Every structure is written in structure tokens, then in C-alpha cells.
Chains A and B, each alone.
Chain A
Amino acid sequence: MDYIKRRAFLKAGFLSSAVIVMNGCSVFGVTTPRDTIKVLQNDLFPKAKELGINTADYISIVLKHSRITQEDKQYLKNGVKWLNESAVDMYKKQYTKLLVQERQAVLKSFAQESWGSSWLDTILRYTFEASFGDPVYSGNNNEAGWKWLEFSGGNPRPIKVFL
């Protein structure tokens, strides 16, 4: 039972757990995956917010999913650290504290590296899952993502999420 409780705690805490951002060899600050991913998703695909789709909360589903490996979940968190370290490197601030133009400059530089581009690719894929998956997964609010792309979905629709 303790094991199960601890696992549940870890899952719940993943998005709000601390990510230590380094500046060279010293600790620069602490951020959380949730804050960074939320801002980043809006930089990458602002249409979701415009359509009223909550893509950040969908990341909680990703982290709970039995079919997504622990390595892939850890990769999400690692990328948060890398992105923030790029931000600190360029502007001496964490990603979420930068101005819009500064964040775009960080993204441009970050995407030049294959590891940076791969991680952004992963974030975009989860963002699209939230935006264009079935509304039962709580993203794609009122089928707003489908309507934007003139897509009618397939029937029958799922009645529960597959985790």
C-alpha cells in the first residue's frame, strides 16, 4: 500500500516538482515543469489557447499513462531543464520570466541543436494530442480543435479515457 501511495504521490508531484536550473557550475534557480511547459506550449502553438484548449493539463495524462515509458516521462522533465538553461545562458533569466521576443530567440537557438529540436518535437506532439484527440481526454474543448480543421471525428466516440 505504501508503495502505491508513494507512486501516486510521485505522479501527482511530477509537474510541480522542482527542476534545478544550472548556470554553468552553480545553481541558478528552481522552476517546475508545469510552469515552463505551459508557457512553451503557448509559444509553440498559440492556437490552442485561442480555441480554449487546455494543453498543459493534458501533460498530467501523459505522465499517468501506462503506455508511456518512465524514460519518456523523465525526458519531458529533462527538457525543461535544458530549455531553462538555454534561457539563462542567453538572458540570465528562466524561460518563463523572459519577454515574448526573448523566448522566441531562445527557441530559435534551442531548435538549432538536434537534442533541442527533438524535445520541442515531443512537446508539440503532446500538444497536438491534447488539441486534436477525443474531447474525452479533456483537451479539445467542445471539439474546438476539430472544428478549426473542419474535422468531424469518428463514431462511436470513446466513453472513457484509455490510460
Chain B
Amino acid sequence: MMYDVCIIGSGAGGSPIAYELSNAGFNVLVLEKGELYDESTFSKDELAVSRRDMFTPPLKEQKHIINEYSQSGKFTRYDGEKSGWNFWNGSMVGGSSNLMSGYFHRMKPKDFELLSSYGEVKGANIVDWCITYDELEPYYDKVEKVIGVSGRIVKHKFQEPRSTPNLPYPMLETSEVTSWFDEACKDLKFTAIPTPRAVLSQNALGRDGCYYSNFCGSYGCSSGAKGSARAALLQKCDATVITDAFVYKLDSKKGKVTRAYYYTKHGVKHVINAKIFVLSAQAIESSRLLLNSKNEEFPNGMANSSGELGKNLVFSAGGAGSGRFIFENLTKEQQSALMQPGLFFNRSLQDWYDYDDGCRKYKGGTIDFLFEHQNLISRVNREMYDEEGNLLWGKKLEDKIHKRLTTSRVLTFEVFNDWLPTDNCNVAVDDEVKDKYGVPVGVINLNSHPQDLEVGEHLAKKAVEVLEKMGAVEIDYSISASPPPNLVAGGCRFGDNPRTSVLDKNCKAHDLDNLYVTDASFMPTGGSVPYTWTIYANSFRVADVIKKVLHLG
């Protein structure tokens, strides 16, 4: 059987290709390592989802080796299994887009021209993208309509140009506490932005609207309101999806990928033939697969004639913080508003998307505000110690848990800024350690640039001002170089020069005629927003390219 297109990975990078190409009449196969979960099988089981990581592979079977670099260039090696350091996200049909919160921000025009706009930063491999915001804008727009983005556009200093005035779906319902935030921002002269969400606020697109379950991030959506790649795309097209298919190797001949090989969990080997191969296994695993696909043509890894494969891995830099609202400081009405379950907070700030510290202009970022996750066991666990760090038990512990969980609520914030690409942040494969399939595991070399922390601090302090103004107590934050595993990009940079990039501007490998990489691997820099909207948009863009190639073919 010869497929027109074989897609490896069914998440946000692969599914737009599957959707567009199969709806155009092509024969599309999607290979997914994980299982199928859908609206009928998702539940809000905290023990399974959050405590036992049911959607990611057990680390004793599949892990990474992590080398954490310090600024001096020395590194500490961590075995993912022994350390519990988990870089898996959602191993399932639709990938981690099933589990996202769906905070959807577009990248800004200057994100595509980071080098030109802000200049070189010592120790960072910053380049401009080989496409502009204007080239991607029609596809951001398409995502709004096909995936479904809800919210309301508010004019502000860094609002990116849009081809339509507003988002296609109205805002989700928000808590009354949001008005406290808006007041505080008004006083501080900050512009409160309703956070656009990839969550339908009403029935549309053949999917049910949000039912305000109180459990969004980390959980699958049981109404289909969340714009996961599965709900919004794979369930709306005829592409064939094979689950339990771990692709471990690609073969090539004369500059063309000829076959993909996959194992089932029982170790049964299968071979797939296709005219075009699209790789979208999430950034780290896509680089790993290509590095593991060495052959005579590509002795250093497939598509790696530049030696750039796996290089310039980036994450979202920044961190998180929080403040607590306590009943003692609130009226009865405010207390009741605070504890109202289900409703969203949905507020963001982008006033410092770039800023000047008096010496020079910095690329800044985004701050999203949200209520603390409703996971009850996690919230109880956070009350186990007193202020001096001593373990509590008995009545003291019970009183603390009861008071904190029933008479106060935490508002959190997340800071997103650029994780500057550096030489010591990349993907390799291990010479000795193998996974349960017998395939060399990915090595994640981690390094962060000092500027990432400076910018994160700047933004976090602005968020703290808002929480203080709102009357929150116990305000705290942590900006660190710790990488969020679900916000990862790079490793297969796109660019015009085949000597300095892995992919061309259409995300096709420079070295091969029929291999495309459409997860976040292509991104040379990550912008200062969560990546998913950009991954979707870019994948729709590449789908148009592949469509033309197949029509001509």
C-alpha cells in the first residue's frame, strides 16, 4: 500500500496536514504511538490523570537522559527514570493538545524578526525567521475558525495586526473576581486583555460548547469544546489513524524518504510506504527519530547535512507566581464570588511585550492569570507544612487544610518570555541507554541564557503589582531556568540557508524531497507566548504547500 502522505505524530503539528490533505481527497495515514481517548472516555480522575500520569509513558519503559548545564559550561547528568524528570506530554491521539489549557496568543510581528528588532545578544543564537508575520496571519485566522478560538480583542500597544476585527466565538463566562483584576489594572494603567482561548463558548463546528467542568488544563475535554487536534481535526476527516505505532526509523534513498518503520507495544515491526512523510512527534522526539535514522546517505542523522539537527532547542522561559484572597479581607458577596466554581479567570497582560530598562530595549513577554488548578489532592498536599517547614499532622493539619481550602482561593499567574537559543541547549541520542523498544533514548541538553531570567523577573514584578492592588496576600513567584516540558520547540530550524538550517521555509528538509517537519521543531525562536496556536497555523500553511506538491505530482 502506498499512501499519499504518512504523518508521524497526531498532535497539533500533524493533524492540520491530515485534515487538509484527507479533505482534499488524498490518502493520508497518521501513526500515533499512544492510545485513543475521546469525549466518551475522558474523566476528571485526579488520581489517574495527575497523580499517576496515565497519558504519558512510564519512565521505566521510556525516558530521557538530561544534561543540565550551568553558566560555567559544566553539566549534571540526570537519568529521567531515576530522577523522575519527565519530558513526555500527551501520548495519545491528538497529542498534548488534548490536555492543554488552550491559552491562545498569536506571536507578534517582531517575534519573526527578533535579531533585526533587538539586535544580537551575546551567547545566544538569535536569527530572524524566514517567513514574516504577514505570511502566517491568514493561517492564524484559519485556526480561529477551524479549531475555534473564543474571546474578545482589546486594543493595546502590542496588539498584532489582524485580518478580521474580532475572534469568531464570544468570550467564555468569567468569574466576578475578574472585575477586581480589571479595576486594579485600570488604577495601575495596565491594559487587561481577555485571554483568547481555544475553547468553544457555544456549540459550533459540530462540537459542544464548554460545560465549565472546573477541570480544563491537564485533562481531556468531555464536550469537545477544547480545540484539541483530535476533536477539531482528526475527528472531522477521513485520515486513517493507527495507534500503538512507535516510529523508530525512517529510510531514504536518493534524497527521498522511502519508508517509515514502527513497532507496536508488543515489539511487532511494521513498514509504511508513502509519497510524502510528515514528522510531528513533538520537538524532542522528532529530532531523536531523525538522529536515530542514520544511513549511508546520512551518516550523522537523516536531514542533517548541515550538522544543525537537534540544535537550538528552546522552551518557554519565565515562571509562575500566585497570591491568595482570604475571607477575612472580603465582604460576604466577595467571598461568594471568589468561591464560585467552574468559571474562568481569563485575563492576560502584554503591556511589556517589549520594554526599555533605560539602557536598552528588551523583548519582554506575556502574563496569563488564572485560578489555581482545582485538583483537590494537590491543593491539600500543599498544606502539609507549617511556615517554618515542619510537617503537620492531627488536628493542626486538619484545621489548616479546612480553613485554607474553604475560606480562601489562590490566583496564579504564568510568565511567558523567550528562551534564547544557545549552543548547550539541544537534542542528541544516547550511545548506550535504550527504551523498551530497544531504540536509543533522546538526550536533552539543557541550558538557559541569563537574559531569560532577567526578563522573567521584570514581568513577574508587574504581575505582583496587580495582585497587591487586588488585595491578595502571600504573594510569591518563581522565575527559573527550569524548562516546561509541554512548551518545547526547535531542533530542526527552518531557514533559507541549507548550511545553517535543517528545513526550508516550507518546513521541508533541505536534504530530502519528501520529508516535512511540522511540529514546533521548525521554530528558530519561540516568541513570548504558548506555542500551540503558531504550531497549528504553520501546519495549515505547510498543508497548502503539500497539497500543491501532490496536485502537481
Q: CB of A121 within 8 A of chain B?
A: yes
- A-chain residues with CB within 8 Å of residue B329 when the two chains form the complex: none
What 0/1 readout, one digit per residue, does chain B (33-58) give for beta carbons within 8 Å of chain A? 00000000011111110011110001
Q: Smallest CB–CB gap between B215 and chain A, Å?
A: 4
- A-chain residues with CB within 8 Å of residue B380 when the two chains form the complex: 128, 131-132, 149
Which residues of chain A (108-163) have a CB below 8 Å from chain B? 111, 117, 120-121, 124-125, 128-129, 131-134, 136-137, 146, 148-159, 161-162
Query: Which of B341, B394, B395, B397 makes the CB contact (< 8 A) with A152?
Result: B341
CA distance A49 to B47 in the complex (A): 21
Q: CB of B167 within 8 A of chain A?
A: no
CA distance A118 to B513 in the complex (A): 56
Q: CB of A66 within 8 A of chain B?
A: yes
Q: CB of A13 within 8 A of chain B?
A: no
- A-chain residues with CB within 8 Å of residue B405 when the two chains form the complex: 149-151
Q: Smallest CB–CB gap between B47 and chain A, Å?
A: 4
Q: CB of B401 within 8 A of chain A?
A: yes
Q: CB of B384 within 8 A of chain A?
A: yes
Q: CB of A52 within 8 A of chain B?
A: no
User: Contact: B219 with A137, CB < 8 Å?
Assistant: no
User: Contact: A157 with B43, CB < 8 Å?
Assistant: yes
Q: Smallest CB–CB gap between A74 and chain B, Å?
A: 15
CA distance A43 to B384 in the complex (A): 14
Chain B residues within 8 Å of chain A by Cβ, number: 38
Which residues of chain B (328-371) have a CB below 8 Å from chain A? 339, 341
CA distance A146 to B51 in the complex (A): 17
Q: CB of B157 within 8 A of chain A?
A: no
Chain A residues within 8 Å of chain B by Cβ, number: 41
Q: CB of B398 within 8 A of chain A?
A: yes
Q: CB of A22 within 8 A of chain B?
A: no
Q: Smallest CB–CB gap between A120 and chain B, Å?
A: 6
- A-chain residues with CB within 8 Å of residue B401 when the two chains form the complex: 149
User: Contact: B391 with A46, CB < 8 Å?
Assistant: no
User: Contact: B43 with A67, CB < 8 Å?
Assistant: no
Q: Smallest CB–CB gap between A42 and chain B, Å?
A: 10
Chosen A-B contacts, 16 in total, with CB atoms closer than 8 Å, are A43-B393, A45-B397, A65-B52, A104-B394, A111-B390, A111-B391, A124-B397, A133-B47, A134-B46, A136-B45, A146-B376, A149-B376, A154-B46, A155-B211, A156-B42, A157-B45
The 5 A-B residue pairs whose C-beta atoms are closest, nearest first, are A154-B44, A162-B48, A158-B45, A154-B215, A158-B43
